[in-house]
Amino acid sequence: MRAAVFHGKQDLRIEDVEEPTPSQGQVKVEVAYAGICGSDLHIYFNTDSPGTGVDYTQPHPLTGTELPQIPGHEISGTVVETGPGCTRVEVGTRVAIWPIYYCGECAACAIGAHGACLKIAFHGVSSHGGGMAQYTVVDETMVHALPDNVDLLMGALVEPMAVGWHAVDTAGVRREQSALIVGAGPIGIGVYYALKACGVESIIVSEPSASRRATLAGLGVEFVVDPMAGDDLDRIVGRVTSGSGVDFAFDTAGVGAALPQAISLLKPRGSIVVVALHEQGFDFNPVSLLWQETKMMGARCYTHDDYANVIDAMAAGGYSAQGWVDEVSLDNSVQALQDLRSARSMKILIRPNS
Protein backbone atom coordinates (compact mmCIF):
# COMPACT_ATOMS: atom_id res chain seq x y z
CA MET A 1 0.00 0.00 0.00
CA ARG A 2 1.02 3.65 -0.36
CA ALA A 3 1.82 5.70 2.72
CA ALA A 4 3.54 8.87 3.85
CA VAL A 5 6.57 7.82 5.89
CA PHE A 6 8.29 10.18 8.33
CA HIS A 7 12.06 9.69 8.45
CA GLY A 8 13.10 12.73 10.45
CA LYS A 9 12.99 16.51 10.59
CA GLN A 10 11.38 17.84 7.38
CA ASP A 11 11.76 14.42 5.75
CA LEU A 12 8.40 12.90 4.77
CA ARG A 13 8.36 10.49 1.82
CA ILE A 14 5.55 8.79 -0.10
CA GLU A 15 6.49 5.11 -0.22
CA ASP A 16 5.13 1.64 -0.90
CA VAL A 17 4.95 -0.27 2.39
CA GLU A 18 3.54 -3.59 3.54
CA GLU A 19 -0.23 -3.61 4.07
CA PRO A 20 -1.09 -4.33 7.72
CA THR A 21 -3.09 -7.32 8.96
CA PRO A 22 -5.22 -7.25 12.11
CA SER A 23 -4.22 -9.48 15.03
CA GLN A 24 -6.23 -10.60 18.06
CA GLY A 25 -8.79 -7.95 18.99
CA GLN A 26 -7.79 -5.60 16.18
CA VAL A 27 -9.56 -4.12 13.18
CA LYS A 28 -8.23 -3.02 9.81
CA VAL A 29 -9.54 0.34 8.59
CA GLU A 30 -9.49 1.67 5.05
CA VAL A 31 -8.57 5.27 5.72
CA ALA A 32 -10.87 7.92 4.27
CA TYR A 33 -9.20 10.96 5.84
CA ALA A 34 -6.21 11.68 8.05
CA GLY A 35 -6.01 15.19 9.43
CA ILE A 36 -2.80 17.11 9.93
CA CYS A 37 -2.63 18.40 13.48
CA GLY A 38 -0.67 21.27 14.99
CA SER A 39 1.40 18.68 16.84
CA ASP A 40 2.29 17.11 13.47
CA LEU A 41 3.66 20.49 12.40
CA HIS A 42 5.68 20.81 15.60
CA ILE A 43 7.16 17.35 15.04
CA TYR A 44 7.83 17.74 11.31
CA PHE A 45 9.53 21.12 11.58
CA ASN A 46 11.02 20.83 15.10
CA THR A 47 11.59 17.12 15.72
CA ASP A 48 14.59 17.84 17.93
CA SER A 49 12.74 20.35 20.13
CA PRO A 50 11.66 19.22 23.62
CA GLY A 51 8.46 21.20 23.02
CA THR A 52 7.18 18.43 20.74
CA GLY A 53 6.94 16.01 23.66
CA VAL A 54 8.31 13.19 21.46
CA ASP A 55 11.87 11.87 21.56
CA TYR A 56 12.62 10.00 18.35
CA THR A 57 16.24 9.35 19.34
CA GLN A 58 15.08 6.48 21.59
CA PRO A 59 12.46 3.72 21.22
CA HIS A 60 9.18 4.85 22.75
CA PRO A 61 8.94 3.42 26.31
CA LEU A 62 5.41 2.11 25.75
CA THR A 63 5.22 1.14 22.08
CA GLY A 64 8.90 0.64 21.26
CA THR A 65 8.44 2.59 18.04
CA GLU A 66 11.33 4.24 16.23
CA LEU A 67 11.66 6.17 13.02
CA PRO A 68 10.74 5.79 10.24
CA GLN A 69 7.00 5.62 10.88
CA ILE A 70 3.68 6.52 9.27
CA PRO A 71 2.15 9.66 10.84
CA GLY A 72 -1.50 10.65 11.16
CA HIS A 73 -3.59 10.41 14.34
CA GLU A 74 -6.80 12.20 13.27
CA ILE A 75 -8.35 9.33 11.37
CA SER A 76 -11.68 8.27 9.91
CA GLY A 77 -12.43 5.33 7.66
CA THR A 78 -14.31 2.08 7.16
CA VAL A 79 -13.60 -1.25 8.83
CA VAL A 80 -12.65 -3.75 6.11
CA GLU A 81 -11.38 -6.66 8.21
CA THR A 82 -11.57 -7.83 11.82
CA GLY A 83 -9.08 -9.97 13.69
CA PRO A 84 -9.84 -12.93 15.95
CA GLY A 85 -11.84 -12.10 19.05
CA CYS A 86 -13.47 -8.92 17.76
CA THR A 87 -17.04 -8.59 19.00
CA ARG A 88 -17.83 -4.85 18.98
CA VAL A 89 -17.24 -3.84 15.37
CA GLU A 90 -18.37 -5.33 12.08
CA VAL A 91 -16.92 -5.04 8.60
CA GLY A 92 -18.45 -2.03 6.87
CA THR A 93 -18.69 0.12 10.01
CA ARG A 94 -17.66 3.74 9.48
CA VAL A 95 -15.46 4.88 12.34
CA ALA A 96 -13.37 7.60 13.94
CA ILE A 97 -10.24 6.38 15.70
CA TRP A 98 -9.37 7.30 19.31
CA PRO A 99 -5.57 7.20 19.02
CA ILE A 100 -4.25 7.00 22.58
CA TYR A 101 -2.08 4.20 23.99
CA TYR A 102 -1.64 4.31 27.76
CA CYS A 103 0.27 2.19 30.29
CA GLY A 104 -2.58 1.49 32.72
CA GLU A 105 -0.12 1.53 35.62
CA CYS A 106 0.93 5.11 36.39
CA ALA A 107 -0.75 7.55 38.80
CA ALA A 108 -2.66 9.25 35.96
CA CYS A 109 -4.01 5.96 34.62
CA ALA A 110 -5.02 4.95 38.15
CA ILE A 111 -7.54 7.80 38.20
CA GLY A 112 -8.66 7.30 34.61
CA ALA A 113 -6.72 10.30 33.24
CA HIS A 114 -5.33 8.35 30.29
CA GLY A 115 -4.57 11.55 28.38
CA ALA A 116 -2.05 12.40 31.10
CA CYS A 117 -0.43 8.95 31.17
CA LEU A 118 3.29 9.22 31.99
CA LYS A 119 4.12 6.93 29.06
CA ILE A 120 1.41 8.09 26.68
CA ALA A 121 1.73 7.26 22.99
CA PHE A 122 -0.44 8.12 20.01
CA HIS A 123 -1.32 6.09 16.96
CA GLY A 124 0.48 7.92 14.18
CA VAL A 125 2.75 9.95 16.46
CA SER A 126 4.62 7.43 18.58
CA SER A 127 3.47 4.11 17.14
CA HIS A 128 3.81 2.35 13.82
CA GLY A 129 1.20 2.55 11.09
CA GLY A 130 -0.68 5.84 11.44
CA GLY A 131 -3.46 7.21 9.27
CA MET A 132 -1.49 8.75 6.40
CA ALA A 133 -1.70 5.42 4.60
CA GLN A 134 -4.31 3.52 2.65
CA TYR A 135 -4.95 1.20 5.61
CA THR A 136 -4.28 1.21 9.33
CA VAL A 137 -4.79 -1.35 12.11
CA VAL A 138 -5.87 -0.53 15.67
CA ASP A 139 -7.44 -2.31 18.64
CA GLU A 140 -11.21 -2.45 18.26
CA THR A 141 -11.48 -0.59 21.59
CA MET A 142 -10.01 2.44 19.81
CA VAL A 143 -12.77 2.92 17.23
CA HIS A 144 -15.99 4.87 17.58
CA ALA A 145 -18.80 4.10 15.14
CA LEU A 146 -20.20 7.08 13.26
CA PRO A 147 -23.97 7.52 12.90
CA ASP A 148 -25.42 7.68 9.40
CA ASN A 149 -25.68 11.48 9.40
CA VAL A 150 -22.01 12.07 10.33
CA ASP A 151 -19.89 11.67 7.22
CA LEU A 152 -16.27 10.51 7.12
CA LEU A 153 -14.93 14.03 6.65
CA MET A 154 -16.55 15.07 9.93
CA GLY A 155 -15.34 11.80 11.41
CA ALA A 156 -11.73 12.90 10.87
CA LEU A 157 -12.49 16.08 12.81
CA VAL A 158 -13.70 14.21 15.90
CA GLU A 159 -10.16 14.04 17.32
CA PRO A 160 -9.34 17.78 17.24
CA MET A 161 -12.89 18.71 18.23
CA ALA A 162 -12.60 16.33 21.21
CA VAL A 163 -9.55 18.30 22.40
CA GLY A 164 -11.76 21.38 22.63
CA TRP A 165 -14.58 19.42 24.27
CA HIS A 166 -12.22 18.03 26.89
CA ALA A 167 -10.87 21.51 27.67
CA VAL A 168 -14.37 22.89 28.24
CA ASP A 169 -15.38 19.87 30.30
CA THR A 170 -12.20 20.04 32.39
CA ALA A 171 -12.78 23.73 33.07
CA GLY A 172 -16.32 23.07 34.29
CA VAL A 173 -17.96 25.82 32.25
CA ARG A 174 -21.65 26.49 32.95
CA ARG A 175 -24.34 27.83 30.63
CA GLU A 176 -24.56 31.32 32.13
CA GLN A 177 -20.82 31.98 32.10
CA SER A 178 -18.57 33.79 29.62
CA ALA A 179 -15.42 32.72 27.78
CA LEU A 180 -12.50 34.12 25.81
CA ILE A 181 -10.77 31.92 23.24
CA VAL A 182 -7.24 33.00 22.39
CA GLY A 183 -6.45 31.66 18.92
CA ALA A 184 -8.84 30.81 16.07
CA GLY A 185 -7.18 27.67 14.75
CA PRO A 186 -8.83 24.23 14.69
CA ILE A 187 -8.55 23.73 18.45
CA GLY A 188 -10.01 27.19 19.06
CA ILE A 189 -12.89 26.23 16.78
CA GLY A 190 -13.29 23.03 18.78
CA VAL A 191 -13.49 25.00 22.02
CA TYR A 192 -16.07 27.34 20.45
CA TYR A 193 -18.32 24.48 19.35
CA ALA A 194 -18.00 22.77 22.74
CA LEU A 195 -18.95 25.99 24.53
CA LYS A 196 -21.97 26.37 22.25
CA ALA A 197 -22.99 22.78 22.94
CA CYS A 198 -22.90 23.63 26.66
CA GLY A 199 -25.26 26.54 26.06
CA VAL A 200 -22.67 29.31 26.54
CA GLU A 201 -23.64 32.45 24.61
CA SER A 202 -21.03 35.02 25.70
CA ILE A 203 -17.99 33.90 23.67
CA ILE A 204 -15.20 36.18 22.43
CA VAL A 205 -12.44 35.00 20.10
CA SER A 206 -9.08 36.78 19.92
CA GLU A 207 -7.17 36.21 16.67
CA PRO A 208 -4.60 38.43 14.88
CA SER A 209 -5.05 36.81 11.45
CA ALA A 210 -7.65 38.61 9.32
CA SER A 211 -8.40 35.49 7.27
CA ARG A 212 -9.00 33.42 10.39
CA ARG A 213 -11.21 36.11 11.87
CA ALA A 214 -13.25 36.05 8.68
CA THR A 215 -13.54 32.26 8.90
CA LEU A 216 -14.81 32.41 12.47
CA ALA A 217 -17.30 35.12 11.57
CA GLY A 218 -18.53 32.86 8.78
CA LEU A 219 -19.14 30.12 11.34
CA GLY A 220 -21.39 32.45 13.29
CA VAL A 221 -19.04 33.75 15.99
CA GLU A 222 -20.38 37.17 16.98
CA PHE A 223 -17.33 38.63 18.71
CA VAL A 224 -14.05 38.04 16.83
CA VAL A 225 -11.39 40.59 17.76
CA ASP A 226 -7.89 41.49 16.58
CA PRO A 227 -5.78 41.59 19.79
CA MET A 228 -3.24 43.81 18.03
CA ALA A 229 -5.79 46.56 17.30
CA GLY A 230 -5.33 48.93 20.22
CA ASP A 231 -7.71 48.31 23.08
CA ASP A 232 -10.38 46.58 20.99
CA LEU A 233 -10.14 43.29 22.90
CA ASP A 234 -10.35 44.98 26.31
CA ARG A 235 -13.30 47.04 25.11
CA ILE A 236 -15.25 44.07 23.71
CA VAL A 237 -14.63 41.95 26.81
CA GLY A 238 -15.80 44.86 28.95
CA ARG A 239 -18.94 45.30 26.85
CA VAL A 240 -19.86 41.60 26.76
CA THR A 241 -19.26 41.07 30.49
CA SER A 242 -20.51 44.47 31.74
CA GLY A 243 -16.97 45.24 32.88
CA SER A 244 -16.48 42.23 35.14
CA GLY A 245 -14.18 40.18 32.88
CA VAL A 246 -14.67 36.69 31.47
CA ASP A 247 -15.13 33.60 33.62
CA PHE A 248 -12.80 31.48 31.49
CA ALA A 249 -10.01 32.03 28.99
CA PHE A 250 -8.76 29.22 26.76
CA ASP A 251 -5.23 29.42 25.38
CA THR A 252 -5.41 27.64 22.03
CA ALA A 253 -2.71 29.74 20.36
CA GLY A 254 0.52 28.59 22.00
CA VAL A 255 1.95 32.12 21.85
CA GLY A 256 3.61 33.27 25.03
CA ALA A 257 2.56 36.93 24.89
CA ALA A 258 -1.11 36.00 24.59
CA LEU A 259 -1.27 34.25 27.96
CA PRO A 260 -0.71 37.29 30.25
CA GLN A 261 -3.14 39.29 28.14
CA ALA A 262 -5.82 36.63 28.56
CA ILE A 263 -5.23 36.46 32.31
CA SER A 264 -5.68 40.23 32.58
CA LEU A 265 -9.16 39.92 31.04
CA LEU A 266 -10.45 37.38 33.57
CA LYS A 267 -12.83 38.29 36.34
CA PRO A 268 -11.66 37.68 39.94
CA ARG A 269 -11.34 33.93 40.56
CA GLY A 270 -11.62 33.28 36.84
CA SER A 271 -9.76 30.43 35.16
CA ILE A 272 -7.18 30.23 32.39
CA VAL A 273 -7.03 26.89 30.58
CA VAL A 274 -3.90 26.04 28.59
CA VAL A 275 -4.82 23.82 25.65
CA ALA A 276 -2.12 24.75 23.14
CA LEU A 277 1.35 23.27 22.77
CA HIS A 278 4.01 25.93 23.35
CA GLU A 279 7.22 25.27 21.43
CA GLN A 280 9.17 27.72 23.58
CA GLY A 281 9.01 28.85 27.17
CA PHE A 282 8.54 32.52 28.05
CA ASP A 283 8.87 34.89 31.00
CA PHE A 284 5.81 34.83 33.20
CA ASN A 285 5.29 36.34 36.63
CA PRO A 286 2.73 34.27 38.60
CA VAL A 287 1.91 37.26 40.76
CA SER A 288 -0.73 38.00 38.13
CA LEU A 289 -2.52 34.90 39.38
CA LEU A 290 -2.15 35.93 42.99
CA TRP A 291 -3.89 39.31 42.88
CA GLN A 292 -7.22 38.04 41.51
CA GLU A 293 -7.03 34.46 42.85
CA THR A 294 -6.92 33.24 39.26
CA LYS A 295 -6.95 29.52 38.61
CA MET A 296 -4.63 28.11 35.93
CA MET A 297 -5.00 24.60 34.53
CA GLY A 298 -3.98 22.45 31.60
CA ALA A 299 -6.24 20.28 29.46
CA ARG A 300 -4.62 17.56 27.40
CA CYS A 301 -6.18 15.17 24.90
CA TYR A 302 -9.60 13.64 25.54
CA THR A 303 -11.46 10.66 26.95
CA HIS A 304 -13.65 8.13 25.19
CA ASP A 305 -16.62 10.06 26.62
CA ASP A 306 -15.36 13.23 24.95
CA TYR A 307 -15.31 11.39 21.62
CA ALA A 308 -18.83 10.10 22.14
CA ASN A 309 -20.10 13.55 23.12
CA VAL A 310 -18.54 15.21 20.06
CA ILE A 311 -20.03 12.58 17.74
CA ASP A 312 -23.44 13.07 19.34
CA ALA A 313 -23.14 16.84 18.91
CA MET A 314 -22.11 16.40 15.28
CA ALA A 315 -25.13 14.17 14.69
CA ALA A 316 -27.30 16.93 16.17
CA GLY A 317 -25.86 19.45 13.68
CA GLY A 318 -23.66 21.27 16.16
CA TYR A 319 -20.50 21.35 14.01
CA SER A 320 -19.60 22.59 10.54
CA ALA A 321 -16.48 22.15 8.39
CA GLN A 322 -17.53 24.85 5.95
CA GLY A 323 -14.86 27.40 5.14
CA TRP A 324 -12.00 26.07 7.26
CA VAL A 325 -11.23 22.51 6.08
CA ASP A 326 -9.37 21.59 2.88
CA GLU A 327 -8.73 18.16 1.35
CA VAL A 328 -5.64 16.96 -0.57
CA SER A 329 -4.29 13.69 -1.89
CA LEU A 330 -1.51 11.72 -0.21
CA ASP A 331 0.96 12.95 -2.84
CA ASN A 332 0.44 16.51 -1.62
CA SER A 333 1.20 15.77 2.04
CA VAL A 334 4.48 17.70 2.20
CA GLN A 335 2.95 20.72 0.50
CA ALA A 336 0.05 20.53 2.95
CA LEU A 337 2.48 20.75 5.88
CA GLN A 338 4.09 23.79 4.27
CA ASP A 339 0.71 25.42 3.65
CA LEU A 340 -0.36 24.94 7.25
CA ARG A 341 2.95 26.23 8.59
CA SER A 342 2.65 29.39 6.49
CA ALA A 343 -1.05 29.82 7.43
CA ARG A 344 -2.20 29.48 3.81
CA SER A 345 -4.65 26.87 5.11
CA MET A 346 -6.28 26.37 8.49
CA LYS A 347 -7.02 22.65 8.43
CA ILE A 348 -6.04 20.02 5.87
CA LEU A 349 -7.27 16.44 5.62
CA ILE A 350 -5.22 13.89 3.65
CA ARG A 351 -7.10 11.41 1.43
CA PRO A 352 -4.80 8.36 1.22
CA ASN A 353 -7.08 6.42 -1.12
CA SER A 354 -7.87 9.06 -3.72
Q: Provide the residue-wise pLDDT of the chain in tens; the chain has 354 residues.
A: 999 999 999 999 999 999 999 999 999 999 999 999 988 998 999 876 666 678 888 899 999 999 999 999 999 999 999 999 999 999 999 999 999 999 999 999 999 999 999 999 999 999 989 999 999 999 999 999 999 999 999 999 999 999 999 999 999 999 999 999 999 999 999 999 999 999 999 999 999 999 999 999 999 999 999 999 988 999 999 999 999 999 999 999 988 888 899 999 999 999 999 999 887 788 888 888 999 999 999 999 999 999 999 999 999 999 999 999 999 999 999 999 999 999 899 999 999 998
- The pLDDT tens digits for 77-124 are 999 999 999 999 999 999 999 999 999 999 999 999 999 999 999 999
Do 252 and 339 belong to one domain? no
In a domain, 315, yes or no: no
Do 152 and 171 belong to one domain? no
Do 44 and 151 belong to one domain? yes
* Residue 80, domain CATH: 3.90.180.10
Do 241 and 149 belong to one domain? no
In a domain, 213, yes or no: yes
Do 150 and 182 belong to one domain? no
Do 142 and 181 belong to one domain? no
Do 139 and 271 belong to one domain? no
**Helix/strand/coil (H/E/C) assignment for every residue in the chain:** CEEEEEEECCEEEEEECCCCCCCCCEEEEEEEEEECCHHHHHHHHCCCCHHHCCCCCCCCCCCCCCCCECCCCEEEEEEEEECCCCCCCCCCCEEEECCEECCCCCHHHHCCCHHHCCCCEECCCCCCCCCCECEEEEEHHHEEECCCCCCHHHHHCHHHHHHHHHHHHHHCCCCCCEEEEECCCHHHHHHHHHHHHCCCCEEEEECCCHHHHHHHHHCCCCEEECCCCCCHHHHHHHHHCCCCCEEEEEECCCCCCHHHHHHHCEEEEEEEEECCCCCCCCCCCCHHHHHCCCEEEECCCCCHHHHHHHHHHHHCCCCCCCCCEEEEEHHHHHHHHHHHHCCCCCEEEEECCC
- Model pTM? 0.95
* Residue 191, domain CATH: 3.40.50.720
In a domain, 310, yes or no: no
Do 151 and 128 belong to one domain? yes
- The pLDDT tens digits for 17-41 are 999 999 999 999 999 999 999 889 9
Domain range holding 284? 166-298
Predicted confidence at residue 56, as pLDDT, reads 87
Do 239 and 290 belong to one domain? yes
Do 151 and 170 belong to one domain? no
Which of 267, 283, 298 is at the close of a domain? 298
Q: How many domains does the chain have?
A: 2
Do 153 and 174 belong to one domain? no
Do 48 and 70 belong to one domain? yes
